[in-house]
Amino acid sequence: MLRIISLNLNGIRSATTKGFLDWLPAQDADLVCVQELKAQAGDMSEAMRAPAGYEGWFHHAEKKGYSGVGIYSRHTPDRVVEGLGIADIDAEGRYLQLDFGPLSVVSLYLPSGSSSEERQQIKFGFMERFAPHLADLRASGREVVICGDWNIAHREIDLKNWKSNQKNSGFLPEERAWLSGLFDGQGWVDVYRQLYPDASGDSYTWWSNRGQAWAKNVGWRIDYHLATPGIGHSAKTASVYKEQRFSDHAPLTVDYDWSLT
């Protein structure tokens, strides 16, 4: 089995103080994709860079205390791809890819548009330019798993208050249609939803810090594993870990019937 975890840390230093690095070794994961590091290379301790049993690779944002992605791996990759080769996107540290033989694993942090209309337009611009890259990956003949915070809830079942959020970033018709295009048009597999087509509350991975969203499970499913069909259909189980909180997101773990060796 190949176990891959995705988690938006909302700051690796903050998550570490909340026990993330203590929790990690017991998960028996082969790869851990993290997002929103909010740290530069010099801000990270040795334990953050290489937790026990893992090597870490990172794509930091240029702006301090902002964005950034990483992947912890028990296996040394054949190739590391940092960024998309698009200057303004790469300045925000949003894409990191590790290749292992015929398999690529990606940590992705798609922009949020909730803070302003300007950021929403930046999000749309990212989506427009990222879709051709996804199409190229899909056509490459490689097996691919893209883990991350996509900042979009795809269907009504994917968030608690869908009716009141139809005009809000993360559940806009254009965003949802874009994801549908990846699933129905390009043929990507939404791994969690394939395994649990009817899950609602159990599927949520993010909760607002406002009100009592966590306590009342008023959440959103915005963290995904998207995969090519070969490895995607090999997934056996998936789970969202909610016993401890390291972030406003929860870890999403998927076990694949797959081997890197």
184 is catalytic: no
Around Cβ 161, how many Cβ atoms within 10 Å? 13
Strand-strand pairing, 2-8 and 31-35: parallel
Q: Which of 8, 65, 69 is nearest to 42 (CA)?
A: 65
CB neighbour class for 43 (10 Å; exposed up to 12, middle 13-18, buried from 19): middle
Mapping DSSP to helix (H, G, I), strand (E, B) and coil, where does residue 253 land? strand
Question: What's the first-to-final CA gap in the chain, in angstroms?
Answer: 11
What number of residues does the chain have? 261
Distance CA 151, CA 131 (A): 15
Q: Which of 28, 90, 99, 149 is labelled catalytic?
A: 149
Q: Which of 83, 90, 93 is nearest to 9 (CA)?
A: 93
Distance CA 162, CA 172 (A): 10
Distance CA 49, CA 260 (A): 22
Q: What is the separation of C-alpha 114 from the centre of its chain, rounded to a whole number of angstroms?
A: 18
Annotated active-site positions, please?
149
